[in-house]
Amino acid sequence: MSTIDLAVIGGSGLYKFPGLQNAERLAVDTPYGAASGDVVLGDFAGKRLAFLARHGESHTLPPHRVNYRANLWALHSLGARRVIGVNAVGGIRSDMGPRVIVVPDQLIDYTHGRATSYCDVEGAEVKHIDFSEPYTESLRRPLLAAARAAGIAVIDGGCYGATQGPRLETRAEIARMKRDGCDLVGMTGMPEAALARELTLEYACLALVANFAAGCGDEAEISIEEIFAHLAAATAEVPRILAAMLKS
C-alpha cells in the first residue's frame, strides 16, 4: 500500500477534490458499516492524497446521518495518519463573516444521538482520551503557515460549536452559543474530531464561513442560495492551501 501523506474529508460544497491526478476509487469495508462513499486516492502537489466526501458525492447524507466512525476508520485503515476536515460553518464572531477561512482551536459539542466513540462496541477497550485540545497543533500550525504562504487570509483559532442539524439554528440558540464562547457554528465537527483522536490520527479543521449565523449579520433571513455562493468562493481556496502545505 502506498503511503498517504494527507487525508481530506470534504464538507458541503466539496464533493470532489480538484487537481487530483491518477485517481483511483476504493470501497472500504469497515466494522462500523459503510462510509459516506468511496475513498478517492490520487497524486496532488507531488504527494499522495486521500479524499472522502463527508455527505456523499451527491450530498445525500444529512449531518446526523453521516457514519463518522466508518469514515475515519476507512481512512485510517488505508494508512492515513493526518486528516484535514473541511467544514462549512456559520460565523458568530463579527470578524468571521462569509467567505472567511478559520482554523479553529477549540470546540463545544451540542449534538445528540450520534455514535460518538469506538468504545461503544461490545468488547472494545474503553479509552478515556485527553481532549483538552481537540485539534492537533502539529497539523494546525503547518495548515496556517501554508495558507499564509499561498497568500490566503486565515484566522488562527476560534471555538467551533457543533449542532445537530440539518436545520439552521434559532437566534436564541446562537445567542446562547455566543454566551458559551462559540465563534463558529457547524453541524459536522463532532464526533469526527473525537473519533480521530481515538484512532491517534492528527486532525485539524479548515472551517469555511458560508454565512453569518442567525442574529449575527444584517440579514433578516438566511438565504440558502447566498450560503452556497459564499461557500463556493471559500472552497476554491482549499486546494491552494493544501498544495502549499504538502510542498513545504
Provide the CATH topology of domain 6-247. Rossmann fold (3.40.50)
Tell me the C-alpha distance between 69 and 71, whole Å: 5
Give 51's pLDDT tier (boundaries 50, 70, 90).
very high
* C-alpha R_g of the chain: 17
Binding residues for phosphate, as ranges, are 12, 54-55, 188
The rounded Cα 57 to chain-centroid distance in angstroms is: 15
Binding residues for substrate, as ranges, are 187, 211-213
| pTM (2 d.p.) | 0.94
**pLDDT value of residue 1:** 47
Give 176's pLDDT tier (boundaries 50, 70, 90).
very high
Averaged pLDDT for residues 2-12? 90
Percent of the chain clearing pLDDT 70 (strictly above): 98
Question: pLDDT by residue (tens digit) across 11-20?
Answer: 988 999 999 9
Binding residues, as ranges, are 12, 54-55, 187-188, 211-213
**pLDDT value of residue 218:** 78
206: left (phi over 0), alpha (psi -120 to 50) or beta: beta
Neighbours of 234 (CB within 10 A): 23
Q: Quick check: bond before 142 cis, omega within 30? A: no
Averaged pLDDT for residues 209-214? 95
For residue 49, give the nearest of 106, 108, 2 by alpha carbon. 2
Tell me the C-alpha distance between 177 and 163, whole Å: 10
Tell me the C-alpha distance between 86 and 11, whole Å: 5
Mean of pLDDT over the chain: 94
Averaged pLDDT for residues 152-179? 97
Give 68's pLDDT tier (boundaries 50, 70, 90).
very high
**pLDDT value of residue 220:** 62
Question: pLDDT by residue (tens digit) across 23-50?
Answer: 999 999 999 999 999 999 999 999 999 9
Averaged pLDDT for residues 103-126? 92
